[in-house]
Structure 1
Amino acid sequence: MKSYSVVIFCMLGWFAISCQTLKAQENYVPDRPGIGNGSYVVEPGVFGLETGIQLSTAKSVNQFDIGQMLLRFGVFENLEMRVLMNSYSTQNFDETDITNSGFQDLGLATKFQFFESENKETRVSAIGKVSLPVGASAFTKYEVIPTLFLAGDQLLTENFSMSSNIGYTFGVGSSSDNWLFTLTPGFTFPNQKNLGVYAGYAGIYSGNKINEYYAEAGITLIVNEGAHLDLNAGYEFENESLFIGIGFSQGFDRWVK
């Protein structure tokens, strides 16, 4: 827990300094918002920052997440490295005075784009991730847990696209294996290309028969120099939980002297 806090402090300090010498990257495509990931891979030498906050409420517990931080680094063509710093979370239970707070587990990942059609309308990438058990006791999984994803995007018309994910998380220790499936249509407005909306479905199918079914939707806005703002919300039907969040994303080009 202490070492995780030091890592986050150092990363944020490095980012604050480096922003003074990095040039904004206009064509950056974030993975947030939404439960799934996109197929876009950052270009070599590009650094991406994605962050946000989220409020979740269920029958007997409310949770506030601040951070949702994802760092992305373009290493080679079609390959990026990813650090999922995730969030500092606070849980409050309605029927008791119990409050849990602390950092979530850290994740390390890579994304590799292995297919793009000649007309660039179809793209597929693979993501490999491991979750490291360094979070607070209330939020950690206590195990190193690997996950594999396929992320695909299909441009159907100039303004309408479809994104989908299929992923498998390996059961380790007390954690069961599970499948993730998402299907997310997206739309950009013809006269307002920097404004987009999406709505979709996400399902998590667990080996212990405890499944989760989500409906989600959101709005994205591209502002100056490619910075992205978003507002997103969703509902999970099995546990009758609701979440709403806001976020920010920005890509940065190579170092500028």
Structure 2
Amino acid sequence: MKSIYILFLSVLFFSTTLFAQELTAPDRPGFGFSSSIVNNGVYQAETGFLLGENLQVAGPFNFRTGIAKNLELRAGLGSIQSESPAVTVQSFGLKYLLASTDNLGLAVLGRMNLPFLNSNYGYYRTRFSLLGDFKISDAISINSNLGYGDFVGKPDYKNGSVNFSITPSYALTKKMAVYLSSEYDNIDEKIDILGGLTYLISSSIQVDAGIQTDHDYESYSIGAGISASF
């Protein structure tokens, strides 16, 4: 797992060094997705890792690119978990920008799981989400997502699941910000909490670090990630 992850980060760093592009608002960290769209012909990669008492995760590995005006294609390559030798479920999605002003961004996202590389994830899950970004002031902004999903071929799971996330952030400087993200999903009926900071290394690379509560609220995980455009 470590060798694959190190190789991925090396390729990502090499690509951004040679072909740097201005970074679009990343979909990480936090539980929500940004309403921003990657420009046509630009590629953006986002990944991270999570270290907890019972689980270590490298990923998810997400790629985004613009394919038309206000339309973004995204591919999720899954994660590598310590408890399983296989890669977790992959996904395919499209994000469309509905509106964008200086203080408001609205988009819709549709994505589907593609369980090709791991038989343990042999089901299709489709989810549609409304994504919003709200600028309260020069320093304060809020990201919020409302999503609805259905499982296909997984009768033991609840169908019609609804999830909601909200992530306020505060800019400490032009390059550094802190955030606090929470998410509720009616499948497990628990609220997950994640908090941390982001730092813009350059116009094309952002790194993040944070702490996340586990489902039982009795332990936590630490994580970090990177988003880069090229």
TM-score of the superposition, structure 2-length normalised?
A: 0.87
Distance in 2 (alpha carbons) for counterparts of 1:81 and 1:182: 22
- How far has the Cα of 1:28 moved from its partner? 2.3
- The match for 1:215 is 193
**Cα separation, partners in 2 of 1:66 and 1:237, compared to 1, 3 Å:** closer
- How far has the Cα of 1:40 moved from its partner? 0.8
Equivalent residue runs for 1:55-74 within 5 Å: 55-57=51-53, 62-74=54-66
**Cα separation, partners in 2 of 1:102 and 1:122, compared to 1, 3 Å:** same
**Cα separation, partners in 2 of 1:18 and 1:56, compared to 1, 3 Å:** closer
Report if aligned partners of 1:211, 1:238 keep a CA contact under 8 Å in 2.
Answer: no
Asked if residue 245 in structure 1 is aligned to residue 213 in structure 2, the reply is no
Asked if residue 185 in structure 1 is aligned to residue 163 in structure 2, the reply is no
- The match for 2:46 is 50
Report if aligned partners of 1:212, 1:236 keep a CA contact under 8 Å in 2.
Answer: no
Distance in 1 (alpha carbons) for counterparts of 2:196 and 2:68: 31
Asked if residue 154 in structure 1 is aligned to residue 134 in structure 2, the reply is yes
**Cα separation, partners in 2 of 1:250 and 1:17, compared to 1, 3 Å:** closer
Q: How many residues align?
A: 222
- SS of residue paired to 2:26: coil
- The match for 1:96 is none
Distance in 1 (alpha carbons) for counterparts of 2:60 and 2:163: 19
- How far has the Cα of 1:144 moved from its partner? 1.4
Distance in 2 (alpha carbons) for counterparts of 1:193 and 1:18: 25
Distance in 2 (alpha carbons) for counterparts of 1:218 and 1:75: 32
- The match for 1:170 is 150
Report if aligned partners of 2:190, 2:215 keep a CA contact under 8 Å in 1.
Answer: yes
Correspondence for 2:86 among 62, 85, 102: 102
> 1:172-213 deviations in whole A, cap 9, x for unaligned?
223323111011111102xx210011013210112xxx3121
Report if aligned partners of 1:34, 1:232 keep a CA contact under 8 Å in 2.
Answer: no
Asked if residue 128 in structure 1 is aligned to residue 124 in structure 2, the reply is no
- The match for 1:200 is 181
Distance in 2 (alpha carbons) for counterparts of 1:149 and 1:133: 21
> 1:87-131 deviations in whole A, cap 9, x for unaligned?
11112xxxxxxxx332101100111111123xx210111110000
- The match for 1:25 is 21
> 1:7-55 deviations in whole A, cap 9, x for unaligned?
x99xx6xx66982895212242211111111111101111001111112
Equivalent residue runs for 1:223-242 within 5 Å: 223-238=201-216, 240-242=218-220
Structure 2 counterpart of 1:200, one-letter code: S
- How far has the Cα of 1:67 moved from its partner? 2.7
Structure 2 counterpart of 1:56, one-letter code: G
More strand by share: 1
Structure 2 counterpart of 1:89, one-letter code: Q
**Cα separation, partners in 2 of 1:248 and 1:104, compared to 1, 3 Å:** same
Percent of matched pairs sharing the same residue: 27
- The match for 1:97 is none
- How far has the Cα of 1:167 moved from its partner? 0.6
Distance in 1 (alpha carbons) for counterparts of 2:109 and 2:16: 31
Large movers: runs of 4+ above 6 Å: none
Gaps of 5+ in 1: 1-7, 92-99, 253-257
> 1:54-81 deviations in whole A, cap 9, x for unaligned?
1234xxxx11111321000111121110
Distance in 1 (alpha carbons) for counterparts of 2:133 and 2:16: 33
Gaps of 5+ in 2: none
Correspondence for 1:81 among 59, 73, 77: 73
